[in-house]
Amino acid sequence: MIKSQPEGAEIFILNAGRPIRLGATPFEANLTEIIKTYVKSNSFLIELKKAGHIPYRVLMAKTEDVDLELTANLELDQAISNHKEHDLLMNQLFDVQKMIRGRNFRDALLRLDDLEKKHPTLSIIPELKATSYYMNKEVENALSYYRKAFTLNPDNTDAYRMKVYLEKKLGVDTEVR
């Protein structure tokens, strides 16, 4: 019996580099017969593959009588994992924008505080904090966060424009960060 988490992984026997597809997990078959039919060398690999996951391989020795129960936890491919993490972050940032538009500044700032702990180098987070403060007429706090956003990303033109605008409005030295 060969199982995987998640199910539906394709199962291959690799013998002399040539993959032979056996089926998909969960898989139950007479492995002794499969080995007699497909394995020509003294060792072989069983490989489990599923899209978006890292392949799982087990080196096996050829024997006459095999009773195998294999359960594999397939790891998510890092690129897929990163996409999911970025997608989650984008959804959270969209939620924050909705809160700001709805003038729910307190909850927006609380959510941004949590996001900032996880992503301290993203300039969008202090920029959104600055926007919350600005819309709530807390101009000094807004300036502080626009400066931080610009410091984290000097290419953030929106943060730069607001930083310069608020510095002029408050009569503050533009060199102070």
The answer to whether the CB of 174 falls within 8 A of the CB of 162 is no
What's the number of domains the chain is made of? 2
Structural element, H or E, at residue 152: helix 139-152
Q: Residues 50, 83: one domain?
A: no
Task: Put the strands of the sheet holding 10-15 in their side by side order.
Answer: 18-24, 10-15, 43-49, 56-61
pLDDT of residue 124: 96
- Neighbouring C-beta atoms of residue 12, cutoff 10 Å: 19
Q: Residues 64, 110: one domain?
A: no
Digit-by-digit pLDDT tens for the chain (177 residues) are: 788 888 899 989 887 767 889 889 988 887 778 878 888 888 888 899 988 888 998 888 877 766 777 788 888 777 776 788 889 999 999 999 999 999 999 999 999 999 999 999 999 999 999 999 999 999 999 999 999 999 999 999 999 999 999 999 999 876 544
pLDDT of residue 157: 94
Q: Residues 46, 64: one domain?
A: yes
Domain enclosing residue 57, as ranges: 2-73
Q: Residues 99, 163: one domain?
A: yes
Q: Residues 46, 85: one domain?
A: no
